[in-house]
Chain A
Amino acid sequence: MELTSRAMNTTPPPPLAISARQVNKVFNPNGAQQVIALQDINLEIPAGEFVSLIGPSGCGKSTLLRLIADLIHPTNGELLVNGQQPEEARKHRDYGFVFQSATLYDWRTVIRNVQLPLEIMGYAPQERKRRAQEMLELVELGKFGNHYPWQLSGGMQQRVSIARALAFDPSILLMDEPFGALDEFTRERMNLELLRIWYRTHKTIVFVTHSISEAVFLSNRVVIMSPRPGRITRIVDITLPYPRSFETRETETYFQKVIEVRELLREAHALDEADETPEVGQ
C-alpha cells in the first residue's frame, strides 16, 4: 500500500526518519589522543527505508548508529530522529536497538526477555504477554518462549533480540552488525527473515555491516564510509526489486551492485593513508 502510493507520487514524500547535517564526532576533543570519529556527516533517511552503513573498521559506522541512538552525543552538527533531538527520540522510545551480541538477560526466559522493554514502558501484563508472543511468532520462535537463552543457538538468540527490539513497535530499528557473529548459511537465512519482517512492519532500518553481499541484498541504499576521519564517501542506490529471495543473489544486477560497492570501498580505503589504528567508539 505504502509502496504503491509512494511510487504513484500522489502523496507528499514520506517524512525523514533520520536527518544528519554536518554532524561531527570527536573523541577526546581536548586531549592528546584526539580522534575525529566522524566528519561532516550528511545523511537523510526517509521513513520506511532500509539503509546499510558499510566500511572498514574505524570508519565510524557504529559511532554514527550510536549517535542516532543517543548512546553518545555529537560534538557538533544537527542530528534529528523522527524530527526530534536524538535524546527526545530515545525518551519517546522511537527506536529499537539490536546489538552484535544478542544481549539477552540470562535470568529471564525467552518470552520474559522480549517482555523486558514492555515492562519498563509500563504495558499491562496481558498486553505484554500478547505482544511478546506475537513477536516471537514473527521471528518464528513461538514455541521457545519458556526456554532460557543458553538453550538456544546463536542465530535463535539474535532472533529473540530482534523480537525484543520490535516488541514496543518503535518506528526505527537500529542494527549494529547483528549477524556478524553468525556463520554464512545462518546469516543468509537471517537476511531473508529480516526482509520478511521489514515488509510486514514497514520499519525504518539502519543496518551496520561488514558484509558487502549482505548490505546489497538487504538495502534500498548502501552508505559507503571511509576511515580516518570517518566520513561518507558515496551512497549507492540498490535498484533490485523487492521482495528479494535466494535467487536474487544470482541475478546480474545483484552482481553488478556487489562489484560497484566493492570498488567504491576499495577507493575509500585507498584514501586512507594513515597507519592502522584501533577502532574507536566501540
Chain B
Amino acid sequence: MTSSRVSASGEPSRLQKLRHYTPTILVAVGVLVGWELLVRVFNIQKFLLPAPSVILNAMLNEIRLATTPGEGSILFQATLATLWSAFGGMCLGCGLGLAVALITARWTIISEAAMPFAIAANSVPIIAFAPIMNNWFGTQNPASKMSIVAIIVFFPMMINTVRGLTLVEPRQLELMQSYAAHPFTILFRLRIPNALPYIFSALRVASTLSTIGAVVAEFFGGQRVMLGVFITQEASNFNFERAWTGIIMASVIGLSFYFIVQLTERLIMPWHVSFRNTER
C-alpha cells in the first residue's frame, strides 16, 4: 500500500511518457498528411489554403534568411516584437490584476463594490478599444498593443484571484482563528495558497488571450515588424504561404506561454489535484 502510494507521486518512466504522447503525435501527423492530400487531390488554390509542404518551405526560407549574415528575417523580427507586446502586456495586466485582487480581498467592502464591474468589464470585447489605444499611445508605439493585452488579461486575473482569496473553507479559517493568527498570517499561509489554483487557471487563460490580443491589436496598424501587420500585409500581397508562417509563429508564442505557465504550475503546486496520479 505504502510503496504504491510513494511511486504514485514519483516520475513516470520514459516508456510511459512515450505511450502517453503517442495518440497526440498520431493525430498531428494525420492532420498534416490529410491537409497535404486534400490540397493536392482537389487542387486547392494557394490563396485559399496552401499545402503544409509549401508553408514549411516558406518557413525554411525564413530560417535561412535569419541565419545568413547580412540578411534578416522579417518574420522572426516580427515574432520577437509581438512576443514582447504579448509578454509585457501579460506581465503588466496579471501583475495589476493580482495587486488589485489582494487589495480588494483585504477590504471586502471594496471587493463587493468592484466585483460586479470587473465581471461586466470581463465580458466586454476589449479588443474593440485597440483603435482608442492607438490614439492614446500612437499606432507605431508598442505600448498601444501592450496596453490592450494588459487590459484583456487584467479582468480574468483579478476576478479569479479574488475568488481564490475569498472562497476559503470556513473550517480552515476557524483553524487559523483558533491559533489566534494575525490577518497577514492568514493571508500568506491560507488565502494565497488557496488562491494558487485559481491564479494559475487565470494565467492559462491569460497566456492564450495575450497572444490573441497582441496579434489582433496589431491588425489595427503598427510598425512593419509585428506579426499582426506582417500577416495582413503578406496576405494582401498574395504571399499566402508567408502569411501562414506568421500565423504559425503566433501559435508558437501562444503555446510556449501556455507551456511555461503549466510548467511553473507543476513546480509551484505539485500537490494539486490535477497532478495526482489517478492509478492509485
Type the 1/0 row for A92-125, where 1 means its CB is closer than 8 Å to any CB of B: 0101110101010111100000001101110000
B131 close to chain A: CB less than 8 A: no
The answer on a CB contact under 8 Å between A93 and B177 is no
The answer on a CB contact under 8 Å between B5 and A147 is yes
Least CB distance from B170 to A in Å reads 10
Query: Across the interface, which residues of A come within 8 angstroms of B95, CB to CB?
Result: none
* Given A71-B174, A99-B171: A148 touches B9 (CB 8 Å cut-off): yes
Within 8 Å by CB of A90, from B180, B189, B269, B273, lies B180
A150 close to chain B: CB less than 8 A: yes
Q: Number of contacting residues on A, CB 8 A?
A: 25
Type the 1/0 row for B243-280, where 1 means its CB is closer than 8 Å to any CB of A: 00000000000000000000000000101110010001
Complex: A132 Cα to B174 Cα, angstroms: 21
* Residue among B176, B180, B181 facing the most chain A CB atoms (10 A cut-off): B180
A151 close to chain B: CB less than 8 A: yes
Cβ-Cβ contact count across A and B, 8 Å cutoff: 56
A200 close to chain B: CB less than 8 A: no
The answer on a CB contact under 8 Å between A119 and B5 is no
The answer on a CB contact under 8 Å between A120 and B181 is yes
B81 close to chain A: CB less than 8 A: no
The answer on a CB contact under 8 Å between B175 and A97 is yes
Complex: A189 Cα to B125 Cα, angstroms: 60
B193 close to chain A: CB less than 8 A: yes
List the B residue with the shortest CB-CB distance to A174.
Answer: B178
Query: Across the interface, which residues of B come within 8 angstroms of A151, CB to CB?
Result: 5, 8-9, 280
State the B residues within 8 Å of A (CB): 2, 5, 8-9, 169, 171-172, 174-181, 185, 189-190, 193, 196, 269, 271-273, 276, 280
State the A residues within 8 Å of B (CB): 69, 71, 90-91, 93, 95-97, 99, 101, 103, 105-108, 116-117, 119-121, 143, 147-148, 150-151
